[in-house]
Amino acid sequence: MGKMNLIAALLLLLAGTSAYSQFSLQFAINRQDDSENRYIPRFSWRVPFEFPVTQEIRAGLVVKNNGIILDRSGNRHKMRAIAIAPQLGVSFGVKSLSLNLAGGVDYNFHYKEKFFPDKKRKDKEKLYREWFSERVNKFNPYLRMSVRKRHSNFSIFGEYLFNDFMNREFTETINAVTFKPYEHVNPLRFNLGIAFRSF
């Protein structure tokens, strides 16, 4: 069994002990005038573990599946990273609603990239599977806000990520030519999702 299979099994075990389930759509919008890049929303999961510090303050860790889907020149690129994020948040009430404002930092520790010629899944190529890869920025700080009705087990949330997912300064050499493959991959990123208490 490979390392990622072991980690996946561990995450499933931990997910069974987590009181919350979270799913999100991850969006990316190009921040520069580059008509070659088109970003596609992607579905993502996460496994949160929260620990109350006080009645209003909660700390925790979140295991995430982060990434972007990029269409360029008729081809599709999928970049994803498994991350763990320490998070600290504060909750407060507004009439019948409970709001939570939190911040954290994603640490991307396993990277995978796939390439789909002409966007065809049957022809996909697994380009890279790397631990602690230099292709992605290892740290991604974010701000999160969620809202739910008081005493409800269901909430919606939004997240804004402050820096680039890919390491735009990363260089590689192919056929004696050195270049930066992610130099123009710098979308603005945000997530919208739902969370619910599973038990």
Sign of the CA dihedral running 117, 121, 125, 126: positive
At 174, list the tokens.
Answer: 């192919």
Cβ proximity of 42 and 192 under 8 Å: no
Model-level pTM? 0.84
| Paired residues of 72 in beta bridges | 75
Domain boundaries, the chain: 3-197
Contacts for 137-140 with beta carbons within 8 Å, 24 or more apart?
137/108, 137/163, 137/164, 137/165, 137/166, 137/167, 138/107, 138/108, 138/109, 139/105, 139/106, 139/107, 139/108, 139/163, 140/66, 140/83, 140/105, 140/106, 140/108, 140/165
- Per residue in 65-99, pLDDT (tens digit) is 999 999 998 999 999 999 999 999 998 888 889 89
Q: How far from chain centre, in Å, is Cα 191?
A: 8
Give me the mean pLDDT over the 184-197 stretch: 90
Measured CA distances, 1 to 4, 6, 10, 130, 157 (Å): 8, 7, 13, 17, 35
| Paired residues of 142 in beta bridges | 104, 161
Distance CA 44, CA 143 (A): 17
- Per residue in 148-177, pLDDT (tens digit) is 888 888 899 999 999 999 999 999 998 999
Residue 50 has, within 13 A of its CA and on its CB side, a CA count of 21
- Per residue in 101-131, pLDDT (tens digit) is 999 999 999 999 999 999 888 888 889 999 9
Domain 3-197 grouped into CATH 3.40.720: no
Element (H, E) at 81: strand 75-94
